[in-house]
Structure 1
């Protein structure tokens, strides 16, 4: 029996499909009152913040995929990021440690690799980052990045106590999902023919590659105490939005927002969010993201699994076709 947390999320839902294709028995945790309708999955209500509930869900389980997590750059969510991403991961690790022999696969993020201080260096070339990157405690990091870094520390703690675990660090994950949430909002932005974009770079990976590679690492290898960057390509944001707009038959964004304007906009959005309680459309972290190109290196996963990532144009074409349905 395999347990999946976050089975209704983007990565979790495609992981369920991958496990179903393998013909494996799967149990998945869901939050809320509505039970998901994915076939051949035993759905159980629960929350990663509930340690006792996790222990009950682990009955008879041999492998755990921890995909549940909160992605947010809104200042209002800083405490919730710690509760879900850090405390939730600690609960999963503790529950697994109580059942020797369980194997854990954890979905982290490239944000946990750090690199924040170097990103502010003007005029510098692309910064190449891989699994060996060291977290700089003196640098300025987003609350989301910090929460994923601290979540990784919980997994490393589990490994030191005997847990068999591997981690994946995907970049921005693209897949057809609710396009009012997370990375899928990029497609909605292109579909709505917005005119503006920031002069930044973005690293992207297909959700199908994330699900397949994560499943392979956990189920087909005996690796433990390792983490793997999952990233297909790094491209300018304007180019990515242009590819999305072309697939939709829409007008691409054509006006690059200068850095000084982005700095003004995030401050205005911050003030608006404080006054209204609404989520800001752009935050300090998103406004400054990618000013110096980051290229996340995925040579390790390519070498160990002997496979390549899907090309970005193919991923965007697939996503757009599925979204317009």
Structure 2
């Protein structure tokens, strides 16, 4: 019922949703919960969290869940999720990693199977993986773009995973303060530019698919407000220039906005839009200039209120 309400409200306000089907991390249960269920039922092959990707019973559990979500009829709008244009697309899994198979074969097989399964049920919506964007062993020339050596041993591979035919657009995350050790802010900024431009180039020349920077952030514990603003502006500028030139970089989604009464759910990256900081205005400006580039203000008078 709660998700019905969220989708109905988004529909009412003209907001499109990218919904993630499961989390690689422990938050909200994630893949760990599926492993626990299988283990408790005595059908799990392994207690390893990575068995989520290769255990036949767990794959079956997940498919049942996916089918239930995609075919659910919204109790408020009366529209099945798979037919609702409010949903922009489906993300298979947030930030997938399979450390037990650094070759990437296990995760690749899972993505191929689950993306095909989603498309079998829902032919209307776009599908993406939910990748962080790390390059794997199949792309040795790109390994220098990774933040550090560990990133190539996580079982994910940006280009290989994104080439799968049922994956419609790619996803990339940007969290330099989580990915580096003992770096200064200026080095973070150099990395962010190189990271984004490399993936945009891949989208243009290798994948021929849009690239969505679907999460980015800089913590408010280790960095000042001006530094956070500088990084966010850098990301938005690169994204805007790509869109203006009709290149593959298709947008950037910040992590994360919070509304009144939800401050207790924040993490080091939370942004309260009505707080008197210079950061929220960056996103309004970005929306306005993207809208003008695409000619949307002529079609929607509501832009005059903000732009």
Higher helix proportion: 2
Say yes or no: TM over 0.5: no
Higher strand proportion: 1
So what's the TM-score if we normalise by structure 1? 0.33
So what's the TM-score if we normalise by structure 2? 0.34
Query: Which one has more relative contact order, counting CA pairs under 8 Å at least 6 apart?
Result: 1
